[in-house]
Amino acid sequence: MAPLGRIPEATVARLPLYLRGLDAFPVGVTATVSSDELADLAGVNAAKVRKDLSHLGTYGTRGVGYDVTFLRFQISQALGVANVWPVVVCGMGNLGRALANHTGFTDRGFPVVAATDSDPNKIGTIVDGVSVHAPGELGDIVRRLDVAIGVISTPAEAAQGTADALVAAGVTSIMSFAPTVLSAPDEVEIRSVDLATELQILGFHLHRNRIAGDA
Amino acid sequence: MAPLGRIPEATVARLPLYLRGLDAFPVGVTATVSSDELADLAGVNAAKVRKDLSHLGTYGTRGVGYDVTFLRFQISQALGVANVWPVVVCGMGNLGRALANHTGFTDRGFPVVAATDSDPNKIGTIVDGVSVHAPGELGDIVRRLDVAIGVISTPAEAAQGTADALVAAGVTSIMSFAPTVLSAPDEVEIRSVDLATELQILGFHLHRNRIAGDA
DNA sequence: AGCCTCTTGTGAACTGATGCACAAGGTGTC
DNA sequence: GACACCTTGTGCATCAGTTCACAAGAGGCT
């Protein structure tokens, strides 16, 4: 009912999953999908699907479901996936290289257009088609290549400095893999992915189950 | 007050951050930290810190703060970080290799003890000190090396099959990077990290701001 | 000892998200 | 056209998590 009201954060986080779920349907073919089916495809429950989609103002057809093509369009629209957001990868260690080479990024509108690294041996080289620059050139790179998103895959010690440089260059969206807290102005959106932390959460549950099992 | 009651999931997810924050203090030195300071170090607010720690039954000292050494011990205890949980990495593409080589894992008690890949050219080789096996050997590897956690970094198509194999081998904790929904029995804990999805969420905010800015 | 300052621990209000359950509104059949 | 059958959209109850605000307690100063 709310055509374009504020979309809850939790819903935003699920929209990409729905879009991904719709990949199960061939493009160009007319088909419909029920909230039940889509729930399965996205790994959530049907009520959530319906409520989420209602926030988009997307109307399904009662008794039938959602038109796949139209739904795809609606979600894409809401997420702005028509846009292409150039990405710079800061820190070309193991992880940085993997990210720069990750086809899933370019495919979805996030081309890695440049990289930085502090290692003089890497600066000036081209790794997997991405040219590596000195950290000091960040501002220049961002302006020249119209970078929208910065990925931080440096060691923890260099992360804050890198974030500062990105912010100074005008980047307002950062994805960080560094195991540290980053501070930045409020208008900068930071998503932090700490792999070791994720494992520790798994470890907690293993630990808990082991204790329970020992009883 | 609740010495060892059920710890809320949201709290569990923050405990590793606190532990990481405490790294700012040298080991072995007596020091105290206030909820305010720790909040800064972990990137959350003080009220949350206090409530979270109260779930552990950890008592700070009013007017003073928390004893760093004791707090470290308490959190470690709760998370079970004293345990070592061997990890197997399934899928040695770019990302898999980066993960297998990630020092942050071994450092925190998650050694990568083996890997699998379906590429015959990789099977039998040793990449960055980790030996690569055929997917069919998974069950054997898990049993032999006492693997506790499986990391799925295969292409999306192979992810479900890999998850099934891990579950069949008795693994109950899975971290997946494959952009797909995995199904598994309820007792299996799955944490899914989809990098493209993360970027799409950032993209949403960029898109929204751009629209707002155009007004 | 008494008082002042500091910081914890927590009750309570609030916020956001989830899930249920069902009326509303379509489609297709007889 | 009427009826039976679906599936959406949503009001409402519930739940988890967050934040506030303050009493309780600990330390130190005079």
Mean pLDDT throughout A44-49? 97
What's the Cα-to-Cα distance from B105 to each of A164, A203, B149, rounded to whole Å? 27, 12, 12
Residue A40: per-residue pLDDT:
96
**Fold of the domain spanning A9-79:** Arc Repressor Mutant, subunit A (1.10.10)
Cα distance between residue A153 and residue A95, in whole Å: 7
CATH class of the domain at B87-197: alpha beta
CATH: 3.40.630.10, 2.40.110.10, 3.40.50.720, 3.40.50.970. Which one for A87-186?
3.40.50.720
Put the strands of the sheet holding A112-116 in their side by side order: A126-127, A130-133, A112-116, A87-90, A149-152, A173-176, A189-192
- Rounded to the nearest angstrom, the minimum Cα separation between A209 and chain B is 10
Under an 8 A CB cutoff, do A83 and B189 touch? no
Minimum-distance CB partner of B149 among A20, A21, A199: A199
User: Rounded to whole angstroms, how far apart are CA atoms B11 and B15?
Assistant: 6
Residue-level pLDDT at B2: 44
Answer whether residue B213 shows pLDDT above 90: no
pTM of the predicted structure, to 2 decimals? 0.94
Find the nucleotide nearest B64 (Cα to C1′).
C7
pLDDT in tens, A85-131: 999 999 999 999 999 999 989 999 999 999 999 999 999 999 989 99
Domain ranges for chain A: 9-79, 87-186
Task: Residue B117: name the closest of B164, B144, B155 by CA.
Answer: B155
When pLDDT is averaged across residues B143-147 and rounded to a whole number, the result is 97
**What 3-state class would DSSP assign to B175?**
strand
The pLDDT value recorded for residue B160 is 98
Provide mean pLDDT across the span B32-60.
Answer: 95
Confidence of residue A6 (pLDDT cuts 50, 70, 90): confident
- A 116-145 → B contacts, CB under 8 A: none
Chain B positions in Cβ-Cβ contact with residue A183 (cut-off 8 Å): 43
Contacts of A90 (CB under 8 A, 6+ apart): A96, A115, A116, A117, A135, A138, A150, A151, A152, A153, A154, A162, A166
Average pLDDT, chain A: 94
Question: Using a CB-CB distance cutoff of 8 angstroms, which residues of chain A are in contact with residue B194?
Answer: 16, 20
